[in-house]
Amino acid sequence: MISKSLWPKTSVKQNIQNGNLISIPDFCFPYSTSLTKETSDGKYLISIGTYPSQVKCFSLNNLNMKFQRNFDSDIIDFQVLTRNWEKLTFLRSDRKLDFHTKSGLYYQIKLPEKGCDLTFDRRKLVLYIPGVSNKVAILDLNNGKFTNEIKSDENSTITCSGVNNKNGLFVTGMENGKNEFWDPRILKKCIGKLNNFNYLKYKKYNSVSSLRFNDKNDNLFFSGFQSGEIIVYDLRCFSPLISKVIHPLNPVKTIRANYNSNYILVSDSNFVKYWRLSTGKTKISFKSEININHICSIKNTGIIFFSLNYKNIGIKYFKSLGPLPEWSCALE
């Protein structure tokens, strides 16, 4: 059981200005939070947690819960399909894909196999659903049907996926430590592979645990591993820009690079680090006493929300990342 003394007892506003890890009263789940995302309009947070399996929507302007919905199975991942919270899709552990609107569950699809991740291409309105295998199901939301699937020629399970928001390039991370890149117009064969083992310190059982394209520079690609290492690539080059150990043998869980193309924000279950891409020098290092499941960095601010193995969602302000948001004035 986590001691309540971990949360500072002074006012919320004072603590956030001091850079302490705090919690907002309504931002919580019965047991723990597994994943948190910000809507594109910057007005809401969507979080999933347990127990029971739940999704909650929080208003950042009012700092309270807008709605809550329960599920009868665990949620593996979800995507926000619109700029606000009104259209959501949830990948469930029982091989179902749920679509929700303002009024609740709208439609449900049975998947051919259990999914391990969910990636949304906003430009083409396409959902990529990697299975617990070497296959990726593709759901075209414009036509409301599955198109041809992606099948890797690697005899390895897909662990994570991502998409480049500018050119639509789709990428998978594999259990064997490789990344495969796919052009959505050519699905018979991948257009490129990264054999990351050549640049890793820890090579045994080192699968890809997280990946990300840079939001400002679509040539920059980041791949994180179970060993706690991360490799930064410029896709125009044959070798990586930098390889760095975040925390040995602690899997990389979240990678964010949407503020400044010269820096990257990375988290594992214990640490959050912010470091310079050109040198690998760490600018910010924060250790959490509670295990971190995921972090959500609020755009154009220094605020980070922590999905923790604890009932409260953590919130912390890093001055080096950006200013306080306007809604922080509502904190008491």
Q: Dump pLDDT digits (tens) for 194-227.
A: 998 888 888 877 899 999 998 888 889 999 999 9
The mean-pLDDT minimum among 78-92, 256-270, 297-311 falls in: 256-270
Distance CA 332, CA 11 (A): 7
Q: Write the CB contacts of 309 (distance below 8 Å, at least 6 apart in sequence).
A: 32, 290, 291, 293
Identify the CATH number of the domain in which residue 30 sits: 2.130.10.10
Q: How far apart are the first and last CA of the chain?
A: 27
Specify the pLDDT at position 277.
85
Top-confidence residue, 36 or 328? 36
Banded model confidence at residue 5, pLDDT cuts 50, 70, 90: very low
The mean-pLDDT minimum among 9-13, 14-18, 23-27 falls in: 9-13
What does pTM read for this prediction?
A: 0.90
32 vs 36, 69, 151, CA distance in Å?
A: 12, 15, 35
Closest CA to 4 of 311, 269, 266: 311
Question: Rounded to an integer, what is the distance from CA 48 to the centroid of its chain?
Answer: 12
Is residue 37 within 8 Å of residue 90, measured between CB atoms? no
Residue ranges making up the domain that contains 38:
4-330
Distance CA 55, CA 90 (A): 10
Peptide bond into 107 cis (omega under 30): no
Specify the pLDDT at position 15.
60
User: Could you please report the per-residue DSSP string of 4-63?
Assistant: GGGS--S-HHHHHHTT--EEEEEEE-SSEEEEEEE-TTSSEEEEEEETTTEEEEEETTTT
Is residue 37 within 8 Å of residue 304, measured between CB atoms? no
Angle at 123 between CA 119 and CA 125, to 5 degrees: 60
Environment class of residue 246 by beta-carbon count within 10 Å: exposed (0-12), middle (13-18) or buried (19+)?
Answer: buried
Specify the pLDDT at position 165.
87
Banded model confidence at residue 11, pLDDT cuts 50, 70, 90: low
Specify the pLDDT at position 17.
56
Specify the pLDDT at position 188.
86
Q: Count structural domains, the chain.
A: 1
Angle at 308 between CA 302 and CA 311, to 5 degrees: 115
Q: In this structure, which amino acid lies at residue 3? A: S
pLDDT per residue as tens digits for the range 84-136: 999 999 999 999 999 999 999 999 999 989 999 999 999 999 999 999 889 99
